[in-house]
């Protein structure tokens, strides 16, 4: 059965998938501190998500899909996000975290996201020690 959805419903769903994945990662990182194991993320990803305040989806673009090795096509979207974080460092590289989010969204929703940083904002205004 196929469903027809509007562009705003699609954008809301993708935004919600990203936000829920971030919440899930934060919860899994808490369990990792209590002796759990992370099979889809690393300690470094936990450090990044700890400094993260929010990710705001700015723009979403549908991308042409190509079959994978098994011949299956999955929906693919290019997503630009603004990343707000709090860190003593001047800047941080969130590429690893973007890949983890993409990996988990694909596992859960069978949707391929290409997440790009539009802007990154460090909200820590007092970095002088």
pLDDT of residue 31: 77
Whether residue 70 is predicted with pLDDT greater than 70 in this model: the reply is: yes
Of residues 126 and 52, which shows the higher confidence score? 52
pLDDT of residue 27: 86
DSSP-based helix, strand, coil % in the chain, nearest 5? 40, 25, 35
- Does a structural domain hold residue 36? yes
87 — pLDDT class (breaks 50, 70, 90): confident
Residues spanned by the domain of 95: 7-122
Alpha-carbon gap, residue 105 to 101, rounded angstroms: 6
Whether residue 68 is predicted with pLDDT greater than 80 in this model: the reply is: no
Q: 3-class secondary structure for 62-104? A: EECCCCCCCCCCCCEEEEEEEEEECCCCCCCCCHHHHHHHHHH
pLDDT in tens, 3-12: 667 888 989 9
pTM of the model: 0.83
Provide mean pLDDT across the span 28-47.
73
- Does a structural domain hold residue 1? no
- Does a structural domain hold residue 127? no
Q: How many domains does the chain have?
A: 1
């Amino acid at each position: 059965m196929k469903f027809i959805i509007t562009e705003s419903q699609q954008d809301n769903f993708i935004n919600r998938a990203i936000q829920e994945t971030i919440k899930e990662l934060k919860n899994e990182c808490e369990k990792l501190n209590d002796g759990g194991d992370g099979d889809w993320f690393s300690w470094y990803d936990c450090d990044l998500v700890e400094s993260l305040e929010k990710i705001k989806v700015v723009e979403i673009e549908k991308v042409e899909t190509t079959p994978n090795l098994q011949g299956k096509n999955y929906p693919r979207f290019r997503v630009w996000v603004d990343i707000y974080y709090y860190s003593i460092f001047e800047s941080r590289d969130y590429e690893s975290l973007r890949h983890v989010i993409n990996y988990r969204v694909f596992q859960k929703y069978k949707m391929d996201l290409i997440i790009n940083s539009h802007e990154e904002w460090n909200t820590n205004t007092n970095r002088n020690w």
